[in-house]
Amino acid sequence: MAVVSTPATLERAVPVMDNAEVLRIRNDFPVLNQLVNGQPLVYLDSGATSQNPVSVIEAEQEFYEQRNAAVHRGAHHLAVEATEVFEDARQTIADFIGADYEETIWTSNATEGLNLLSYALSNAGLWAAQGRGDQRLGELSLGPGDDIVVTEMEHHANLIPWQELAFRTGATLRYIPIGDDGSLRMDQAAGIIGPRTKVLAFTHASNVLGIINPVAELAALGHAAGALVVLDACQSAPHLPLNVKELGVDFAVFSGHKMLAPTGIGVLYGRQELLDILPPFLTGGSMITTVTMERAEYLPAPQRFEAGTQRISQAVAMAAAANYLTETGLARIHAWEAALGQRMVAGLESIPGVRVLGPAAGKERIGLAAFDVEGVHAHDVGQFLDSRGIAVRVGHHCAQPLHRRLGLTATTRASAYLYNTTDDVDRFLEAVAGVRAYFRA
């Protein structure tokens, strides 16, 4: 069987996926077997939200049919079973990203995870000022004279929480710029990340550019400066093998709905020694040890950050999604999607009047491509493609500063996943080739 070379972190060759296997995979996704505007659906919007296989849908349904109950609160049979499957799901996700059980926190999505972390860090300053909690909290608190560093390519979810943390604490927000090709100016990064840096937050893979950033190199710069390193893994965890310990990050976030799971579920990973001393963000039931009318004491992680009734069925379904991806093989998925991404970029670059953002054909990227069609607004491009049964994303993709840097207000983005074929990409390219003529641009 043929093999394909994968990034060095994968370390070994893997069997190639092909269209025949992908067509079998498609049968696991009921929503894909439909017509849109009289055409077979080509779903190229998985970078926004992926579709769900039958095994994930059934996992959530089975929970409600067989063991629906509150977790951690009851001694009756259903409550015990619900707690067991909920915590088993946590272990599954921890294994999926190379983390420990205690380091894996359920959130509603990645955005909540980043907000949780930013508010926990501002609470660290409040606690330290009052002499409350662990004495190491003072090292985690931020104030005037401290820097928070992000990049110019960040999704708003990994930008605005840090803007607000800077506002609350008096810290300064700085960013690593990008070059004209969209890549990070690593030659400037070492001068931006320094002794004042308390937090370094960046995306693993850009949801607009498709670029895979040098995580280990950035993490080394951050740790050399004594900073906490935060990774947005929303566009990597669903698509390539991820080991947070090997990457050397302190925190990472990702969302279930981008990796075959339902909406309303996400994960925050954090090193246990940090999580156990950080103040909680949301407070209430299930995350406390002792409560008096004057104060409360909190459990260690992960329960420390999981107040109230949890997203139980969604967590169970997310574990089923992780199992589906693991059984298919993340290395194989990554290689297939990378090939689709190259096919998309090469095809788009050959169409007159189309500008592709990010790496040119032949350079490493994940399986997505954002592009601008000269003389045609992205929304019109998206509607034209939709009329041909092709689902893509249009707008600024929650990355306005990045678009502004590249001289654009909006783009069209096609993003592939393990259920897309080369025929899907070719149909998409054929449709894009007709856009300018249709609109007489």
Q: What is the pLDDT of residues 371-423, one digit of tens each?
A: 999 999 999 999 999 999 999 999 999 999 999 999 999 999 999 999 999 99
In a domain, residue 227? The reply is yes
In the predicted model, what is the mean pLDDT of residues 197-208? Answer: 98
The pLDDT confidence band at residue 72, using thresholds 50, 70 and 90, is confident
Residue 339 and residue 284 share a domain: no
Residue 237 and residue 161 share a domain: yes
pLDDT at 9 over 50: no
Q: What is the pLDDT of residue 13?
A: 59
In a domain, residue 260? The reply is yes
In the predicted model, what is the mean pLDDT of residues 178-207? Answer: 97
How would you label 346-385 residue by residue, b for 16+ Cβ within 10 Å and e otherwise?
bbbeebeebbbbbbebeeebbbbbbbbbeebebebbbebb
The pLDDT confidence band at residue 11, using thresholds 50, 70 and 90, is very low
Q: Which residue has the tokens 């693991």?
A: 326
The pLDDT confidence band at residue 85, using thresholds 50, 70 and 90, is very high
Residue 427 and residue 296 share a domain: no
What would the pLDDT profile of 218-237 be if each residue is shown by its tens digit? 999 999 999 999 999 999 99
Residue 216 and residue 121 share a domain: yes
Residue 82 and residue 28 share a domain: no
Residue 19 and residue 106 share a domain: no
Residue 390 and residue 313 share a domain: no
Q: For residue 126, how far is the Cα from the chain centroid?
A: 30
Q: What is the pLDDT of residue 14?
A: 60
Cα distances (Å, whole numbers) of residue 386 to 36, 271, 427: 8, 44, 12
In a domain, residue 221? The reply is yes
In a domain, residue 61? The reply is no
Q: Please, what is the angle between helix 422-433 and helix 378-386, to 10°?
A: 120
Cα distances (Å, whole numbers) of residue 34 to 29, 30, 39, 141: 11, 8, 8, 52
Domain carrying residue 111: 67-326
Residue 25 and residue 97 share a domain: no
Question: At 223, which CATH number?
Answer: 3.40.640.10
Residue 77 and residue 119 share a domain: yes
In a domain, residue 94? The reply is yes
Number of compact structural domains in the chain:
2
In a domain, residue 266? The reply is yes
Residue 261, amino acid = A
Q: What is the pLDDT of residue 75?
A: 85
Under 8 Å between Cβ of 44 and 424: yes
Under 8 Å between Cβ of 302 and 91: no
One DSSP character per residue, 368-425 reads EEEEEETTB-HHHHHHHHHTTTEE-EEE-TT-HHHHHHTT-S-EEEEE--TT--HHHH
In a domain, residue 17? The reply is yes
Cα distances (Å, whole numbers) of residue 436 to 206, 326, 395, 418: 27, 41, 18, 30
Confirm whether 234 is a catalytic residue. Answer: no
Q: What is the pLDDT of residue 437?
A: 97
Give the global pTM: 0.94
Question: At 372, which CATH number?
Answer: 3.90.1150.10
Phi, psi of 376 (to 5 degrees): -130, 125
Residue where a domain terminates, one of 309, 326, 343? 326
Q: Of 57, 70, 398, 433, which is the active-site residue?
A: 398
Evaluated on CA atoms 342, 347, 352, 356, the torsion sign reads negative
In a domain, residue 60? The reply is no
* Residues near 224 by beta carbon (within 8 Å), at least 6 away in sequence: none
Residue 312 and residue 338 share a domain: no
Q: What is the pLDDT of residue 74?
A: 76
Report strand pairing: 354-356 vs 368-373.
Answer: antiparallel
Phi, psi of 414 (to 5 degrees): -110, 130
In the predicted model, what is the mean pLDDT of residues 21-33? Answer: 98
Q: How far apart are CA 259 and CA 415, in angstroms?
A: 13
Q: What percent of the chain has pLDDT over 70?
A: 97
Residue 320 and residue 356 share a domain: no
Residue 388 and residue 252 share a domain: no
Instruction: For the beta carbon of residue 108, count every other beta carbon within 10 angstroms.
Output: 17
Average pLDDT, the chain: 95
